[in-house]
Amino acid sequence: MAELVNSISFQDNYLIWLLAEADSDQSIQIKRVVEAPLPFVISYENLTKPAAALEIANRLTSLASRNGMTTENVRFLLPARFGLVKKVLLDQYVPEAVHEQIIHSELSETLVSPLDDYLIYTPQYSRENNFLEERLVVAFRKKLFALFRDVAANAKMSLTQINLNTFALDALFRRLYPNMLGETMLANFTEHGVEVTLSAQSNFLNYAFKPYTKSLQKIDELDDQQLTDYFVAMVDDIQRPGSVDFPLYSISQIYLFGTHLREKLVDALQSENLPTTRILNPMEVNDWQIILNEKNLEDELYRFIEPLANAIM
| pLDDT tens digits, 175-222 | 899 889 999 999 999 999 999 999 988 789 999 999 999 999 999 999
pLDDT score, position 121: 86
Question: Phi, psi at residue 239, to the nearest 5°?
Answer: -75, -35
CATH number at 177-280: 3.30.420.40
d(CA 22, CA 34): 18
pLDDT tens-digit readout, 255-303: 999 999 998 999 999 999 999 999 999 999 888 889 898 878 888 999 9
pLDDT tens-digit readout, 223-236: 999 999 999 999 99
Q: Is the pLDDT of residue 24 over 70?
A: no
What is the residue type of 164?
Answer: L
Buried b (16+ CB within 10 A) or exposed e, 182-219: ebbbbbbbbbbbbbbbbbbeeebbbbbbbebeeeeeeb
Question: Phi, psi at residue 36, to the nearest 5°?
Answer: -160, 150
Q: In what order do the strands lie in the sheet with 27-37?
A: 159-164, 74-78, 3-10, 14-24, 27-37, 289-292
Residue extent(s) of CATH 3.30.420.40 domains in the chain: 177-280
Residue extent(s) of CATH 3.30.1490 domains in the chain: 81-141
The pTM of the full predicted model, rounded to 2 decimals, is: 0.92
Q: Are 288 and 217 in contact (CB under 8 A)?
A: no
d(CA 249, CA 238): 8
CATH topology of domain 81-141: Dna Ligase; domain 1 (3.30.1490)
d(CA 264, CA 27): 31
pLDDT tens-digit readout, 36-89: 999 999 887 887 888 999 999 999 999 999 999 999 999 999 999 999 998 888
Closest CA to 8 of 17, 309, 44, 163: 17
